Each structure stands twice: as C-alpha cells, then as structure tokens.
A and B are shown apart, each in its own frame.
Chain A
Amino acid sequence: MTLASSPSRTPTGPQPGDLYVQKHVDYIKNLDSRRDELEYWLTEHLRLNGVYWGLTALHLLGHPGALPRDKTIDFILSCQQDNGGFAAAPGHDAHMLYTVSAVQILVTLDAVDELEKPGRGGKHKLGSFIAGLQDKETGTFMGDEWGERDTRFLYGALNALSLLGLLDLVDVPKAVSYIQKCENFDGAYGIRPGAESHAGQVFTCVGALAIAGRLDLVNRDRLGGWLSERQLENGGLNGRPEKLADSCYSWWVGASLAMIDRLHWVDSDRLAAFILKCQVSPFDTIPTLGTTNAVQDPEGGGFGDRPDNMADVFHTVFSVAGLSLLKFDGVLEVDPV
C-alpha cells in the first residue's frame, strides 16, 4: 500500500456516527507512550509493523506529521541487522515482514537515501537480503533463514523491491507461475498450491500480479464474484465463506476488488457504515471490567475487528484504508497495490 494524493475535507466537531479523525490521530500518537502497560512490551515483536500501520493511517487521515519524522527514521534504521534485513525491534532477528514494512516507511517518509549513508550498505544490501529468500526452485519466498513459505512473503518481496526499483534482483516470472499454482476453481487464491482460498492471500497474490504487470492472468469475473460474496448482511466483509465479518478485510477484500476494477460489486455505503461501527467511539458506553456497570469510553479512538471489540493499530490502519478505497470524506485516497 502506498499513498496516492487527492484533496480532502476534514469534518468539523465529531458527531455520533462520524469518523472521529482527531480521536484516531491521538490514539496512534499515544501508542508509544503506553510503556506502563504490559501489552506494550508483549507486542514488541510487532513494533516496526506497528509504526508502519500507524504512520500509514496518519497519512490517510491527513495528519502525516503527527509522528516525529527524524525519530521515526532513527528507530527504523536501528532495526536493521547485519544481513541487511530488518527486525521488528532492535536486537530481534531480521524477517521479511519487517523488512517490507521498513521499506514502506522509508518510502513514505522519502528517506530511502538514508540507506546510502556510511555503514548501512545501501539499498542493494537490503535488496539482496530479500532476493536471497526466494526459493529458486519454485519461485516463492521464505520469511527468513528458517524457511517458512507463504504468499504473504512473496507479495512483500515484490512490493519492497519494486518500491526500491530493484525488481530485477529476483525471478519475477517464476514467482508469477507460483501464484498461478495457488489459484483455485473459485478464482481466488490460497497460501500455498492446494490450499483453500482466503481473502488475505487473494490480496497478496493479486497484489503481486499487479506489481509484476500480470493482472491479465486473473479470472476477474470469477474472483470478483467470490470476493463480493464476502460481504455479509451487516455490511462487513469476511475472509472465507461462512465466517464472521472483520474490519481488516475491508482492506484485503476491498483492495483486491479495486485492483480488478470490481470494487462496485459490493455495497460501499453498507461497508463504510460497518467500518465506522468498529471505531472505538467517544459516544459509546461499554461495560466496566468486573461489574455490570456501563460507562462512557473515556479514551476512544482506534478501530477494533468488530463493533464493541478492543481497538488495535492493525485494525485501525486497515479500517481507515478501507474507508479510503471507498473515497470516504476526510480520508485521503490510497493506491490499492
């Protein structure tokens, strides 16, 4: 996901049912100040992803400067390991997932040149780390040296390398033919050849094909039909048949539909209404732990996976990005790839 620019309008004074832009901005800005919560430390393995999710959400909400740029860049660079890849946090191991997030953040902040500074090894070192994880035999990618293979890593590799202008480091046609092997009769894609179709994997496979310039291989009507059936009566989208809706699929399904020009195959208004209900709203009353009382949520801000659930930054960015696809007022437009 990268940002496309377009003019936007910021709503004035939150009303029930609105998008609470300022609340979400505050929620994201405060994430790093929650060091007195155990959860903060238990999620350290997601820190670099978290920065990407938060930063992207802030950009989409029209507050790109809400996180300090220099401090963010310093943090990202402190996560780089000797092999050129990036870890979730300083001292952790390098992995494809965080390396991709690092590239996305550096591109968003227009800071790729930082990699060329002495001792960093340049963008080619980073590119070589990614390229080294391609399985030469099948064309897919591993997450790290321990060998897990997943189309998430394949998409991530192509995404990061294309952002760096280094796609020629890998065998793109082989990666493309691997994706074709992940296609099922329903037109959708699974995590590996033979695996059941899954909307998250559809996003990674279609996104990778888009980057490779091979969307011609997608059976658009068949896949579009499967994706549009992800919309449920409550307006939300699920990831597979007969599962519950979840706000993050607003992005995985919505972006996939957008990439094959079928976003209008779901009901935008109903989807936007569902996403807004997943907001932690300052107007909600919620149960107090251990009692039967309900209180007004003192904090507010952020999105959960479903209405009335806890907010987290992962569901926040993919909810906001979903609204962005739907050209919702107050959110900047996003590039679905």
Chain B
Amino acid sequence: MSGHGIPRYSSAGEKSQEARQQELRKIEKYRALDQLVHDKITAHEYTSETLQKISELLSDNPEYYTVWNYRRRVLRDQFSQAASSDSNETATDKVASLIKNDLLFLIPLLRSFPKCYWIWNYRLWLLDEAKHLLPLPVARKFWQEELALVGKMLNLDSRNFHGWGYRHFVVESLEKLAPEESGQSMAPEEFEYAKKMISTNLSNFSAWHYRTKLIQRLLNEKSASNKERKEMLDGELELIHNALIDPYDQSLWFYHQNLMCTFDPSVSDQTMAPNLTDSERLEYIRQEIEAIQEMLDGAEDCKYIYQALIDCTVLAAKIQGSMTSEDKGNVLGWLAEIKKLDPLRRGRWVDFEMTMS
C-alpha cells in the first residue's frame, strides 16, 4: 500500500526551477516507457525487447500490477515458442533458462520492496509454471532454492507476513513434488526452523504461530498416541514457562493462550491433546495457576499475569460447571488489579466484571 513509514519533510526549499524541470523530464521518460510497453502488448509483440522494457518499467514501479500481467503474457508466449523447439531437451533447457532469468530479475525488487504483494505473487506464478512445464527434478530444484530465499527474507524482517505466507506455499509445493520413494513431510525440519526463529527472538509471534500449526501436523502425521501427545504438551508448557521469565511480552502470552485451548472442551478437538479427561484438564489448570502465581513475584505490575490467572480459573469453572466462592473472590481480586494496571481496556474489564455478578 502507499506511503508507510515515510518521514515528512518540506519540499519548500528544494523545488527550485531546475528541480522542477528535472522532475518533469522524469515524468516524461516514465510515461513514454509506459506508453511504449502498452503499445507493444497491444500489438502482441512478445519479444525479448518488450520483456526488457517491462523490466525497466517494473523496476521504476513494482506496484504496477497490469505490467506484471503483461510480463506473464510475454513469458507464456516465449514458453510456447521454446516448446516448439526441435528436441525435447532443448525445449526444457530454454524454458528452464527463461524461468531462471526471471527469478533472478525479481531478487533485487523483493529486497527493495519486501511488502509488495504483486512481486511475491508473480514469483509464485512463475514457479507454478515451472511445475507445469518442466520435468519434476528440474522444477523441484527451483522450488528448493526458494526455501533459502525466503529464509533470507525472513532474516531481514522476521515478521514479514508475505514471507511467512510464501514459506507456507514453498513447503506445500516441495512436499507435493517430493520423489515418490521418499514422499515425506517437511514438518520436522520446519519445526526446527520455527524453533530457531523463536530462539533468535522470543517476541516473534509469527514463529510461535507457525510452531502451533507444525505441532499439530507432526502429531497427526505420525498418528501420535495420547501419551505422545501429552508428552508434547508437557514440553510446550515447560518451554513457555521458561520463556515467561519476561512476563511483559505479549507474544508469549498469546502462545500461552493457544496452549490453554487444550483444556477447553469447546475447542480442544483442534489442539495437540484432544483426548484429555476432564480431571486431567483440571489438574493441568491447577498446576498452571500455581506456576503463574509464582511469576507475580517481582512482576506485580504485569497485567498479563492477572489476566492469565483469571482465564485459567474461568476455564476450570467451565469444566466443573460452576465456580466456587473462593475462586470467585480470587478472580475479583485479580480483576481489581487489572483495572488499575490497564486503563486503556477499562471497558473490557467492566464488561467482564458484570458477567461475574
């Protein structure tokens, strides 16, 4: 989208007559290029020269979505020309080289405009063409290299949601393109990747989110037993408790909330341990409340702690069917603290208070 994070400055001193002339010349050049490309496409001149002009135009303006479509049309034409080559081998080589060059053209654009939807989108289209037009091992190699690319992009900005979405597509494709004899899931190695990203920056909720999804896949794919699922859950609880040494980090509490869904009968079927008994759930919640209460020591001003205590207590009451008056007293006490600590969301806490009376 236009204009994120561009600091304001005055153009008052800058726009001399000469600067204005210079800008007008730039406009003229840009519009001439635009017109040229448009004319060539209208005339179906799908040549290398047209492709070159399109590259220039897109480098000036990567948000120009119509020109990405022009590029697709030119390449489709060049693919079909290549396919009519004398031998199959040459055809494959030609198509592969067209795709390779185009992937290379995109790299500097992606680096300069990592949040531009159209570039990511075009790249996926190109790789899909590879899937359809090239022998499996060749197509697979292209997709394989994308994993490294998206890794680099996520190192530059570990929250870029285009990057995370792209990673999802790449993994999905590689799994489909995997050689028959192996045919294996990439969930284990992706789980390691999420782990690595989390250890680099605990606040990276994108990576925690990915972890949630991967755990599900890992367990489902190996048809994990209830025991294995419980072990996974225990490990995750231990991990998040250790991470919550910094209890002021919102990302960690949202992951904690994800884990607590395991004990919520209304959503537990989508979680990593769907078959816990009610008494197991209550026991987990009791331990959780104890662990969270200990976090309060030295962090009495951390509202997330009180919030988690309330959520756990309310969840226990949901399982039991009612709340003891002792628990209710505790909840109201924690709520009083939150109302003091979190004036921005006062309306939320007042609403909640009303449900308690």
A→B interface (CB under 8 Å): 35-38, 41-46, 87-88, 91-93, 95, 144, 146-148, 184-186, 191-192, 194-198, 224-226, 228-229, 231, 233, 235, 240-243, 246, 248, 262, 264-267, 270, 280, 286-291, 293, 295, 297-298, 304-306, 308-315
Contacts and interface: CB of A to CB of B under 8 A. Distances in A.
Contact of A41 (B31, B168, B213): B31
A297 B30 contact: no
A167 B125 CA distance: 30
A185 B267 contact: yes
Contacts of A192: 165, 168
18 contacts: A91-B38, A191-B161, A228-B344, A241-B251, A242-B159, A265-B345, A265-B351, A267-B345, A270-B344, A286-B8, A288-B14, A290-B14, A295-B12, A306-B5, A309-B5, A309-B6, A309-B7, A314-B1
Residue of A231, A248, A265, A287 contacting most chain B CB atoms (<10 Å): A265
A305 B14 contact: no
A194 B345 contact: no
Given A43-B2, A93-B66, A298-B12, A36 B24 contact: yes
B141 interface: no
Given A224-B348, A310-B3, A312-B2, A92 B66 contact: yes
A162 B13 CA distance: 50
Contact of B261 (A87, A185, A288): A185
Contacts, number: 178
Given A186-B257, A224-B348, A242 B251 contact: yes
B348 A42 contact: no
Contact of B7 (A36, A147, A308): A308
A270 B209 CA distance: 30
B10 A41 contact: no
B7 A310 contact: yes
Given A45-B66, A231-B345, A241-B205, A186 B9 contact: no
Contacts of B8: 280, 286, 297, 304, 308-311
Contacts of B90: none
A289 B93 CA distance: 51
B121 interface: yes
A38 B30 contact: yes
B20 A36 contact: yes
A191 B348 contact: no
Nearest to A89: B66
A289 B66 contact: no
A87 B66 contact: yes
Interface string B260-300: 01000001001100000000000000000000000000000
B1 to A, nearest CB: 6
B63 interface: yes
Nearest to A270: B344
Contacts of A36: 20, 23-24, 27
B206 A196 contact: yes
B271 to A, nearest CB: 8
Interface string B34-66: 100010000000000000000000001101111
B344 A264 contact: no
A242 B5 contact: no
Given A194-B213, A195-B161, A286 B9 contact: yes
A312 B196 CA distance: 38
A264 B354 CA distance: 15
B10 A262 contact: no
B209 A184 contact: yes
B171 to A, nearest CB: 11
Given A37-B23, A44-B64, A267-B344, 11 more contacts: A42-B63, A93-B65, A147-B125, A226-B254, A228-B348, A231-B345, A240-B205, A240-B206, A242-B204, A242-B251, A290-B13
